[in-house]
Structure 1
Amino acid sequence: MASAQSSGPIDPYRNFNFRLEIGGVTEAAFFSVQGLAMRIHPIRYRPGGDGQAVRSLPGPVEYAEVTLRHGLTKSTDLWNWISAIAKGRIERRNVSILLLETDGVTEALRWNLLSAWPCEWHGPALDGLGRDIAFAELKLAYDELRAE
């Protein structure tokens, strides 16, 4: 049976074409997202009468914390969010990470972090002789990861 011809090779998406959507955050200069990961812990067991064979079943699901790097601006949205958590007011928000097509506008893939909240913040490294952008890091914990 003949396979359908494609119009050419399919290029992978570029890692710099992305956008973040965070409820309640109107302005943030995100330039890096790291740590998007999921792990399903195997549960190992040895069934009776099967000799020394060890089998495994899927166990608990664990989501890695996601680190967002952003350039500092006048916006205090992210700082206010983690400050509220530090004061005991847990504000869970849904966060979407969008990978964009080469046009930089059209959504190609989306990962939704459900019930996310900031669990760690790192301020900028300041250097009187530096020329880099002042950026901060925010780590997010979340309850579930969904891909669309």
Structure 2
Amino acid sequence: MPAESKVTTVSRFSLSIDGKDLGLFTRCSRLALSVEVDEVAEGGINDSLMHLNTRIRYAPLVVTRPVSTTPVDLCEWVQESVRKPSLSTGQITVLDGTRAVAKWELRNVMPVAWRGPDLDAADSAAAMEEIEFVHGGFFRK
């Protein structure tokens, strides 16, 4: 009898780049890939096309969290990363309470944007900041 899989409620996740802990985040979007395909019309076969995969494209990754007094100033970290560019290794760790339930390793990570909060005194929503990264692929650890 196959083992039952347990559904995990994700409340947050951590992000580290080259071993530097950037803190806890509440949202991660676009952890995705797509395969580019060339369509080839084969001679003599007129009822269908052949599809040949060519390369994998990885979507830019966006992580979001409430603005806080964490030790890492993300805006400053992104600016420093641009001044001294390097391809880094990142890790996203999904947390269920304090327990790690899933990890993804990111290759050739480079920050490309930081977005600060929309400030509106009439809005009671938390002030959020986000970082956007490009990367050269990921795998589940």
TM tier relative to shorter chain:
0.7 to 0.9
Larger radius of gyration between Structure 1 and Structure 2: 1
1:95 is displaced (CA, Å) by 1.5
- Segments of 4+ moved more than 6 angstroms: none
1:63-116 per-residue CA deviation (whole Å, 9 max, x = no partner) reads: 0111111222343442233213444x213321111234x5x3333322111111
Task: State yes or no: 1:14 paired with 2:9.
Answer: yes
Contact 1:28 1:71 in 2 (8 A): no
SS at match of 1:28: strand
Tell me the residue number matched to 1:122: 115
Tell me the residue number matched to 1:84: 80
Following superposition of structure 1 onto structure 2, how do residues 1-148 of structure 1 map, counting pairs within 5 Å? 4=1, 6=3, 9-23=4-18, 25-74=20-69, 75-87=71-83, 89-100=84-95, 102=96, 104-148=97-141
In the alignment, structure 2 segments of 5+ residues that lack a partner are none
In the alignment, structure 1 segments of 5+ residues that lack a partner are none
SS at match of 1:44: strand
Contact 1:24 1:77 in 2 (8 A): no
Aligned residues: 140
1:36-55 per-residue CA deviation (whole Å, 9 max, x = no partner) reads: 10001111112223234201
SS at match of 1:138: strand
- The two structures have a TM-score, normalised by structure 1, of 0.78
The CA distance in 2 between the partners of 1:29 and 1:111, in whole Å, is: 15
The CA distance in 1 between the partners of 2:2 and 2:130, in whole Å, is: 46
Identity of aligned residues (%): 20
- The two structures have a TM-score, normalised by structure 2, of 0.81
The CA distance in 2 between the partners of 1:25 and 1:77, in whole Å, is: 12
